[in-house]
Copies of this chain bind each other. A is one copy, B any other.
Amino acid sequence: MAEERALAMVTCTAPVNIAVIKYWGKRDNDLILPINSSLSVTLHQDQLKTTTTAAASRDFTEDRLWLNGEEADVGHPRLQACLREVRRLARKRRGGSAEDSSPLNLSYKIHIATENNFPTAAGLASSAAGYACLGFLCRRGCWALEWAAGAQGGFGCSERGVTSWFLGPKVSGEKKQVGSTAGMQTSVDTSPLLKHRAEAVVPERLALMMRHIRERDFEGFGQLTMRDSNQFHATCLDTFPPIFYLNDLSRHIIALAHRFNAHHGRTKVAYTFDAGPNTVIFTLADTVAEFVEVVRRSFPPAANGDQFVRGLPVGSASLPEELVAAVVPEPVPGAVRYILHTQPGPGPQLLDDPSQHLLGADGLPHGRP
Cβ of A259 to closest chain B Cβ, rounded Å: 9
Say if the beta carbon of A58 comes within 8 Å of chain B: no
- A227's partner among B200, B230, B240, B247 (CB-CB below 8 A) is B240
Say if the beta carbon of A30 comes within 8 Å of chain B: no
Say if the beta carbon of A329 comes within 8 Å of chain B: yes
Say if the beta carbon of A82 comes within 8 Å of chain B: no
Cβ of A318 to closest chain B Cβ, rounded Å: 25
Say if the beta carbon of A193 comes within 8 Å of chain B: yes
- A234's partner among B175, B234, B248, B255 (CB-CB below 8 A) is B234
Q: Check if A173 sits within 8 Å of B330, measured CB to CB.
A: yes
- How many copies of this chain are found per oligomer? 2
Q: Check if B230 sits within 8 Å of A240, measured CB to CB.
A: yes
CA separation between A233 and B9, bound complex, in Å?
Answer: 50
CA separation between A251 and B236, bound complex, in Å?
Answer: 13
Closest to A229 in B: B242
Chain B residues closer than 8 Å to A255, beta-carbon distance: 175, 241
Q: Check if B234 sits within 8 Å of A254, measured CB to CB.
A: no
Interface of A (DSSP majority class): helix
Cβ of A98 to closest chain B Cβ, rounded Å: 52
A175-216 near B? 1/0 per residue, CB < 8 Å:
100000000000000101100110011000000000000000
A26-37 near B? 1/0 per residue, CB < 8 Å:
000000000000
Cβ of A353 to closest chain B Cβ, rounded Å: 46
Q: Check if A230 sits within 8 Å of B237, measured CB to CB.
A: yes
CA separation between A190 and B192, bound complex, in Å?
Answer: 19
Residues A241-263 near B (CB distance < 8 A): 241-242, 244, 246-248, 251, 254-255, 258
A320-331 near B? 1/0 per residue, CB < 8 Å:
000000000110
Closest to A239 in B: B230
Say if the beta carbon of A293 comes within 8 Å of chain B: no
User: 6 closest pairs, A vs B, by CB?
Assistant: A234-B234, A234-B238, A234-B237, A196-B196, A241-B258, A248-B248
Q: List 27 A-B contacts (CB under 8 A).
A: A175-B329, A190-B227, A192-B196, A193-B197, A193-B201, A193-B231, A193-B234, A193-B238, A196-B196, A223-B240, A226-B240, A227-B240, A230-B237, A230-B239, A230-B240, A230-B242, A231-B237, A231-B238, A233-B237, A234-B234, A234-B237, A234-B238, A237-B246, A241-B254, A241-B258, A244-B254, A248-B248
